Amino acid sequence: MKLYGKSKQKHKKILRMLPLFMAICITGCGNTPPVDSNPVQTISPVAFQPDGTETPPPSTQDSSASANIDTTPEPTPAPTPEPTPAPTPDLGPEPTNVFESDSWWLSYGEAGAQTQPRGNAKQSDLSWYGAYYLGSPDEKVVYLTFDCGYENGNTELILAALKKHNAKGTFFMTGQFLETAPDLVKQILEEGHEAGNHTWSHPDMSAYTDKADFQKQLDDVANLYFEITGTEIGPYYRPPEGKCSEENLRWAKDLGYHTIFWALAHVDWYQDNQPDPQESIDRLTSRVSPGAVVLLHNTSDTNGAIIDDLMTKWEELGYSFRPLSDLTGP
């Protein structure tokens, strides 16, 4: 009985202490864990690919930041419109009865008046074929051209005068000139001048009735010029002695040539009967007019002697010099 009473008291003591023991276990002996004011952000772990490379974790950027990004698409710029090409002038129907005679001629007005001459054909009719003898009446410009049938020592003098006056000319070449003066042909090109086609043998082209024969006269010159220089001859054709038909004009146009006549010349082609130098200067300055295509022969000793002074006289009258390409276009 005495043993049982002691055991009972012991059990009561244990029972009294049990709540305290349980509280200690629950609270960690009275040490309450601190509250973290900055909780650790959970980040997805790096994933490893089978080859050992790392795949970065997905972005944890605040979705509110992306909401502030302007997602408005950029405006598509309006396409630049293509420039409208200039309309091709309507030249109307092909003219008839263009020439008043078989050979080119000119009728001048009062000497010194600087009025454009009347030709064997109207410039308006010639324009239908891309042919010219005159430019604008409103500009004091002349176009210097030289017919080169052969060489006799005057071409060098002409080239020197052109260089002195910073002028460009067009040299209409025959087969004979090309064959006998290839070095001059190259010099003419190197100094910036243009070459024109004056036919292979200088025949009466108005007598040709077959286009193939007409074309051969021009092709033979063009082919040899290319052989000598490595460049194409200019798109200019001058009929020998100005003899031409409407059919010739049409054929030349089909072959890509501008037929070029003239508005100013003098009788300089007779080698044994050359004109007086001063008389030639007077004639060529009194008859000059705006837009005139000038024809001089490279074989003329008079031209070789006066060309520098003649160009000076024209400049004193207010004229400047331009190449045929400025008149005809490309």
Instruction: Dig out the tokens for 229 from the structure.
Output: 């220089």
User: Among this protein's residues, is 297 annotated catalytic?
Assistant: yes
- Cβ neighbours of residue 162 closer than 8 Å, sequence gap 6 or more: 144, 168, 169, 191, 193
- Cβ neighbours of residue 141 closer than 8 Å, sequence gap 6 or more: 135, 290, 291, 319, 320, 321, 322, 326
Instruction: Dig out the tokens for 207 from the structure.
Output: 């007598």
Residue written as token pair 């022969």: 297
Candidate list 193, 198, 266, 297, residue with the active-site label = 297
| C-alpha to C-alpha distance for 278 and 296, rounded to whole angstroms | 16
Q: Which 3 state secondary structure label does DSSP give 296? A: strand
Burial tier of 151 (Cβ tally within 10 Å: 0-12, 13-18, 19+): middle
CB-based contact 264:142 (threshold 8 Å): yes
Candidate list 147, 198, 258, 268, residue with the active-site label = 147
The catalytic residue positions are: 147, 297
